[in-house]
Amino acid sequence: MRPIATTRMAAGIPTGRLAIWWVVASEIVIFGGLLVSYIMHRLAKPEWGDHAANTNVWIGGFNTFVLLTSSLSAVLAHKAAVNGDGPKAAKLLYATCFGACTFVVVKALEWNMEISHGFTISSNTFWSFYYTAAGLHGLHVIAGAIIMLIIAETAKKNLELHRVELIGIYWHFVDIVWIFLFPLLYIAK
Amino acid sequence: MSEHAEHAEHEVNYVKIWAILLVLLVISILGPFVGIKVVTLITAFGIAIVKAYLVAKNFMHLNIEPRYAVYLLVTMLVFMLLLFSGSAPDIMKQEGRNWVKPEIHVEAQAPAHH
Amino acid sequence: MAESIPADAMHAHDDHHHTEQSIWSKYVFSTDHKMIAMQYMFTGMAMALIGGFMAYAFRMQLAFPGIDVPGYGTVTASDYNALVTNHGTIMIFWVAMPVLIAAFGNYLIPLMVGCDDMVFPRLNRLSYQIFLLSAIVLIASFFVPGGGFGGAWTAYPPLSAKSQYSLTALGSSFWLVAVALEFTAFLLGGINFVTTAMNARAPGMKIFDIPIVVWMIVVASILFMSSVGPLIAGAVMLFMDQNVGTAFFDPDKGGDPILWQHLFWFFGHPEVYVVLLPAMGITAEIMCVFARKKMFAYKTFLYTTFATGILSFTVWAHHQFVAGIDPRMANIFTVTTLLISIPIAEMCFIYIATLYGGSIRLTTPMLWALAFVAEFLIGGVTGIFLGASGADIYFHDTYFVLAHFHYTFFPIAIIGTFAGFTYWFPKMFGKMMNDTLGKIHFWGTIIPFNFIFIPLFVLGAAGQHRRIYNYEHFPELAGVEMQDMRVLATVSMLVMLVFQLVFFYNCFISWKKKQKDAGKNPWKANTLEWTTDSPPPHGNWPELPTVYRGPYEYSVPGREEDYFPQNVPD
Amino acid sequence: MIDQYVVALSTYANDIDNLILLIGVLVGFWLILCELVFFYFIIRFRAKDGRRAEYITGEEKSHKRWISYPHMLVLVCDVFIVFFAIKVWYDVKQQLPEPYETVRIVGQQWAWSFVHPGADHELGTADDIKTVDELHIEVGKVYHFKLESRDVLHSFSVPVFRLKQDAVPGRVITGWFEANGTGTHDIQCAEICGIGHALMPAQIFIESPERHAAWVAEQSPVTLASANQP
């Protein structure tokens, strides 16, 4: 039995979505703290541009493309869910998960390449930030993909369709974080 | 449900937004090839902000959410700006009033080649 | 087949069919907000006993250097550092936060806004389980090779980052992981509190009909969620520094130790208000009930709360005046710090104004609430010395700081908790507490409390620094009259600890039916939690209430009774 | 107020003491006023049979005055405190008077080492005098110090000077002091720095010009000391 509390909507936003906004808000400050630390170091140290030159823009760009596309499938899944088409929403969520997996695999290959070139997490503070920020973001990608699979399972049966939108909002947030990580880590040289 | 009706009214063409995002992505990758620093900064960060705005507005549907959701997220960004402006005078500078960070020579482990 | 189903699955099963609950699903894996509140409450109290025991051990060492402390043994220098570090960490993160925010928040928010549970019951249970895990990790940190972390609760690197400096390689990491887990638990809890209070209010409960304590817990949760991020990021960075070989805070390799201080105090200062606000809410609630008064200027009180919350994000570097930050920044932070005294002063004025014209009954909860105001005032005004940059040069890291924040945190975490606990005890357990024993416990706590910390103000003014386990090496501090002060503080603390036994005895006998049944509304209060049975059943009300007015309509003219419950139609 | 416990031996010690006294008077006034009114209300408005509490919302302007005027007064007090706090802070931490000599102070686990400039008043020359846990200075002269740390955070605290400054690894922080009385006093570490934090005492020897010159001569390497003789 679901508590009556969950059905109320005094603030004008359904409870699940309201909570997701708070999740996003607290995630903003987590990534914010890390990125503010990075930006302060980056602005102080022009030589980090040379370190950043060793990152591969094309791989980063490809990953941005993957995430943007998976965002599109997430929002299309939401649209399908709004129209009450659970199986279609589930299929689009699987597509989003596929995007997440591609992202992670490409990331792993990229790191593997960089580490084999001698750029490890303890090389210097730029690389520390590089691996920490991308790693923290990568954990969010993996967590989002797992939750998405669970939601897709229920959505397939046309149950709990509102959750499709919730994971979508979270996913778009992860996307936005990457949109900023990409220029910060790859382009600014 | 009224919520669904609302979405229908604000129906946006998601594929079109996605296409715009991809064009912006290409511009931000190509920006550094111009070789001018200002252009790079604009194509990198200006476009990142535009992209984030497009995603937040159209994919996260912040445009049809009650205003306070936007205010909430913007407040968090303002707090981060506060954190930056409060700590930048210490972290970002090599010297300040009555203190200095002596030069430290940190070498990256020499990369083999690239 | 049935016996192989884990307790968790059983519980989900029970939820659907309302069958008799097993002891596991009722007490351990419950999703009922009241049970989770009790779990937080008793875990917090257990941690308070551990934290109190630590205080006992290191205060004995300070008063009688080198003795064999009964029940502990000799306190070595590394023991001493680990004890003060973990005393601070436990009392803030594992006592004040779980009890004031999580326990009272979980218990009161659904009852006070008139709904049957939190909006995310299973998230709530997960939050407690992570919290419990964090407590276990913290306690485990004492038993790993090298012993507990001893770098102060602020964990400034490089001491906390490098094991060759701290000599507690595992202890530091365990401590950090415990703190990070605790933050995760409270992020989950905070989302739940805020969402519940925003969305699940009873029909008719408008935004200014919400009881102050609910407002305060919500604002505190919001402050927590919006300030803790940088510290979580910092904790990740520090953990990598400890274990992976990065150098975020290591100046030898291009990092900066001051960065951690900024990340820490950007959270650390709002954290003070995170625990202060719920205690202020509890106090306001109790004072209105026992003065039979409407809250003076309810809206102004709320606006000052918001002002405090926002200002609290602009003051953090006053903890770092002499820590090597740029001296020009100190001027800005002095101004913002002193500005924050204005909303806090206004809140205290509102408390005092609320008493005016009242009909005050000095029951045990009311005594605690009044003591909160009286003692917190002292803690508040002594903060001005430390916020004024010029004076802080001398007072920084002395016992004056320590006495100052104990005069704020003790009223918050101990007095506020006892006030809330004694006030809502009839609701939680359905029995009245013994008032005489309650008053003995009250005076036995308050009087020694002042005798612990007033001597420490004097020691601080005399320049005694914190976290030094033995003063014999500092001739100017090892004088006889200084030592007398330390002995006085220690003896007072022993007296206070002994009087806590009265409290546990009182709880025990009151709970064991020796006291009379409380009934639904023993204090004749207005708020919604008093309109249901004591203790409230699962689901809180047979039929959820509707709200018609604000929470503090006491002594309304032209009404026979002097209270006017929120759910009674006009 | 403070010099009752710790003597004031630097030129700015009295400024800091006076600032503390000023704050003490202002906040003491508010504390006592609030507590008096508070306890008066508790006694005056105790519950009595037949008397009902008044119904005051506090929302009318005439009522709100009772809290808004006091908080304006608090603001005025704050302005005073801010003004004098920043003034003292500026003198002690922000501006640096011309130095007579500069000393180097290095904190490490768990000792302070001091580098005195020696007879030529210049740091970094061959006649520098290095000491551990002993700082020798001359009374009535402006000293700069360059504060460093080798490992973790330390804090250079001289209670008789009312001076405190953290030593941060990776930074050199400059400060100043000028003693105005002789004596031997404690230097403490005020920032937790590991197991030996309590075992990090040093002493400051504030000496008259003659004694200080004698100390410098005694400590200086023999050749240099004789070279400096006219």
- Distance (Å, whole) CA B83 – CA C228: 12
With CB atoms and an 8 Å threshold, state whether A28 touches B45: no
Are chains C and D in touch, 3+ Cβ pairs below 8 Å?
yes
Partners of D132 in the β-ladder: D113
Give contacts of A123 with chain B, Cβ < 8 Å: 108-109
Per the CB < 8 A criterion, the answer to whether C454 and C406 are in contact is no
Instruction: Enumerate the residues of chain A whose CB falls inside 8 A of the CB of residue C196.
Output: 5
Q: What is the pLDDT of residue D222?
A: 56
Domains of chain C: residue spans and CATH: 27-531 (1.20.210.10)
Is the Cβ–Cβ distance between B61 and C233 less than 8 Å? no
Tell me whether the omega of the peptide bond preceding residue C535 falls within 30 degrees of 0, making it cis.
Answer: yes
Using CB atoms, which residue from A5, A36, A45 is nearest to C119? A5
Q: What are phi and psi of A159, to 5 degrees?
A: -105, 150
pLDDT for the residue D125: 85
Q: Quick check: helix, strand or coil at residue A14? A: coil
Contacts of C311 in chain B (CB under 8 A): none
- Burial status of residue A122 (CB atoms within 10 A of its CB: 0-12, 13-18, 19 or more): middle
Going by pLDDT thresholds of 50, 70 and 90, the confidence category of residue C312 is very high
How many angstroms separate the CA of residue D175 from the nearest CA in chain B?
Answer: 7
Residues of A in contact with C246 (CB under 8 A): 121-122, 125, 128, 132
Q: Is B43 a residue whose pLDDT tops 60? A: yes
Task: Among B87, B97, B104, select the one facing C328 at the smallest CB separation.
Answer: B97
C456 in Cβ contact with C403 (< 8 Å): yes
Among candidate residues C348, C458, C337, C338, the one with its CA nearest the CA of residue C403:
C458
CB neighbourhood size of C16 (10 A): 9
Structure tokens, A67: 């995430």
Say whether pLDDT at C9 is over 60. no
Confidence of residue A9 (pLDDT cuts 50, 70, 90): confident
Map residue D165 onto helix, strand or coil.
strand
One-character DSSP codes across D102-131: EEEEEEETTEEEEEE-GGGT-TTSTT-EEE
Could you tell me the end-to-end alpha-carbon distance of chain B, in angstroms, rounded to an integer? 58
Q: How far is CA C457 from the centre of its chain?
A: 22
User: Nearest Cβ partner of D174 from B98, B102, B104?
Assistant: B98
Over residues C36-79, the pLDDT tens digits come to 999 999 999 999 999 999 999 999 999 999 899 999 999 999 99
- Percent of chain C clearing pLDDT 90 (strictly above): 82
Q: For D140-175, write each residue's pLDDT tens digit.
A: 999 999 999 999 999 999 999 999 999 999 999 999
Which value, to the nearest 10 degrees, does the dihedral of the CA atoms of residues C43, C49, C52, C56 take?
A: -150
Which pLDDT band, with edges at 50, 70 and 90, does C10 fall under?
A: very low
Calculate mean pLDDT across residues C428-443: 93
On whether ipTM exceeds 0.90, the answer is yes
Q: Which helix (H) or strand (E) holds B99?
A: strand B99-100
Chain C hits for B86, CB-CB cut-off 8 Å, are 262, 266, 314, 316-317, 329, 333
Tell whether the model's pLDDT for residue D230 goes beyond 50: no
B96 to chain C, minimum CA–CA distance in Å?
A: 6
Q: Which chain C residue's Cα is nearest to D74?
A: C342
Q: Answer yes or no: do D81 and C257 touch at CB < 8 A.
A: no
Rg (CA), chain D: 26
**C491-549 pLDDT per residue, tens:** 999 999 999 999 999 999 988 876 778 889 999 999 999 999 989 998 899 999 999 99
Per-residue pLDDT of C342-359, as tens digits, reads 999 999 999 999 999 999
A184: contact with C, CB 8 A cutoff: no
Compute CA D33 distance to the chain's CA centroid, rounded to the nearest angstrom. Answer: 30
What single DSSP character describes residue D162? Answer: T
* Spans of all domains in chain B: 1-63, 67-94
pLDDT at A67: 95
Distance CA C372, CA C280 (A): 8
Residue A3 is predicted with a pLDDT of: 80
CA distance D84 to chain C (A): 8
Q: Do C263 and A29 touch (CB under 8 A)?
A: no
pLDDT at C21: 67
Order of all β-strands in the sheet with D163-167 = D134-138, D202-207, D183-189, D154-158, D163-167
> Could you tell me the pLDDT band of residue A79, with boundaries at 50, 70 and 90?
very high
Closest CA of chain B from C318, distance in Å: 11
Task: Flag the least confident range among B76-85, C27-36, C208-217, D20-29.
Answer: C27-36
Assign residue C191 a region: left if phi > 0, alpha if psi is -120 to 50, beta otherwise?
A: alpha
SS3 D30: helix
Q: Which domains does chain A have, with CATH numbers?
A: 4-187 (1.20.120.80)
Whole-angstrom Cα distance, residue C507 to residue C418?
Answer: 11
Partner residue facing C229 (CB), from A6, A33, A129: A33
Lowest mean pLDDT among C6-10, C234-238, C329-333, C458-462: C6-10
**CA B31, CA B40: separation in Å to the nearest integer?**
5
Cβ of B86 and C266 within 8 Å?
Answer: yes
Cross-chain Cβ contact B98/D175 below 8 Å: yes
Q: Check: CATH 3.40.50.12280 for D101-227?
A: no
pLDDT at D25: 95
For chain D, the domains span 13-94, 101-227
Task: Report the SS3 class of residue D147.
Answer: strand
Specify the pLDDT at position C546. Answer: 93
Q: CA A67 to CA A72: how far, in whole Å? A: 9
Give the number of other Cβ atoms within 10 Å of residue A115's Cβ.
14
Residue A11 is predicted with a pLDDT of 86
- The 10s digit of each residue's pLDDT in D23-78 is 999 999 999 999 999 999 999 999 998 889 999 998 888 988 999 899 899 999 99
What is the pLDDT averaged over residues C318-328?
92
Cα–Cα dist D216/C51, whole Å: 51
Residues C564 and C525: their CA atoms lie apart, in Å, by 8
Report whether pLDDT(C561) > 50.
yes
pLDDT at B10: 55
What is the model's pLDDT at position C18?
47
- Chain B: give the shortest CA distance to residue A144, in Å: 15
pTM above 0.90, yes or no: yes
Across the interface, of D6, D23, D157, the residue whose CB is closest to C462 is D6
Coil, helix or strand at residue D202:
strand
How does residue C224 score in pLDDT terms, banded at 50, 70 and 90? Answer: very high
* Chain D interface includes B97 (CB < 8 A): yes
Lowest mean pLDDT among A10-24, B47-61, C16-30: C16-30
Q: Between B86, B101, B104, which is nearest C316 by CB?
A: B86
Q: In chain C, what residues touch D176 (CB-CB under 8 Å)?
A: none
Find the length of chain D.
230
Mean pLDDT of A132-150: 96
**A150 CB near a chain C CB, below 8 Å?**
no
Nearest-CB residue to D94 (from B97, B100, B104): B97
The pair of three-digit structure tokens given for residue D23, joined into one six-digit string:
């704050």
Neighbours of chain B (3+ CB pairs under 8 A): A, C, D
- Which residues in chain D are contacts of B102 at CB distance < 8 A? 170-172
Q: What would the pLDDT profile of C109-165 be if each residue is shown by its tens digit?
A: 999 999 999 999 999 999 999 999 999 999 999 999 988 999 899 999 999 999 999
Shortest distance, CA C502 to any CA of chain D (angstroms): 26
Please answer yes or no on whether A128 and C248 come within 8 Å at the CB atom: yes
